[in-house]
């Protein structure tokens, strides 16, 4: 059974750095084709893809946020970490991590519950 869960701060100040952790189970990021991505959703708005890390440590980023984003993995803990620097109130959103695999066309077939992050002073 594949599960993912996001954790991290729910309130951060402008200009600070956000670090979110996705802790997963039921799969390994060492398995060929597997990936974990981050997607966010501002309140009442659409989904926005942020970043993705694959089994071979291949990393992909949204070009509009690439200078502020870093995605890493901690294989020993079954975690994927996303950092977003220089936060602004427009970064207020629910942040989701999600699993991707070839059997689902590399789309996101399992999602975490999401974590609402508010950026405010």
Partner 1 sequence: DIQMTQSPSSVSTSAGDRVTITCRASQGIGSWLAWYQQKPGKAPKLLIYGASILQSGVPSRFSGSGSGTDFSLTISSLQPEDFATYYCQQAATFPRTFGQGTKVEMK
Binding site for partner 1 (CB under 8 A): 37, 39, 46-49, 52, 60-63, 96, 98, 104-109, 111-114
Instruction: Give 5 or 78: the residue with its C-beta nearer to partner 1.
Output: 5
Q: How far apart are CA 75 and CA 39, in angstroms?
A: 21
> Minimum distance from CB of 74 to partner 1 (Å)?
22
Instruction: Give 11 or 47: the residue with its C-beta nearer to partner 1.
Output: 47
Instruction: Give 62 or 85: the residue with its C-beta nearer to partner 1.
Output: 62
> Minimum distance from CB of 121 to partner 1 (Å)?
26
> Minimum distance from CB of 13 to partner 1 (Å)?
26
């Amino acid at each position: 059974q594949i599960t993912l869960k996001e954790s991290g701060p729910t309130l951060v100040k402008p200009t600070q750095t956000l670090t979110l952790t996705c802790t997963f189970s039921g799969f390994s990021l060492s398995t060929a084709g597997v990936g974990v991505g981050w997607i966010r959703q501002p309140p009442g708005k659409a989904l926005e893809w942020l970043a993705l890390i694959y089994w071979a440590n291949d990393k992909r980023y949204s070009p509009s946020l690439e200078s502020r984003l870093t995605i890493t993995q901690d294989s020993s803990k079954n975690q994927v970490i996303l950092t977003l620097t220089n936060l602004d109130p427009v970064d207020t959103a629910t942040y989701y991590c999600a699993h991707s695999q070839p059997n689902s066309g590399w789309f996101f077939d399992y999602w975490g519950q999401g974590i609402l992050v508010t950026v405010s002073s």
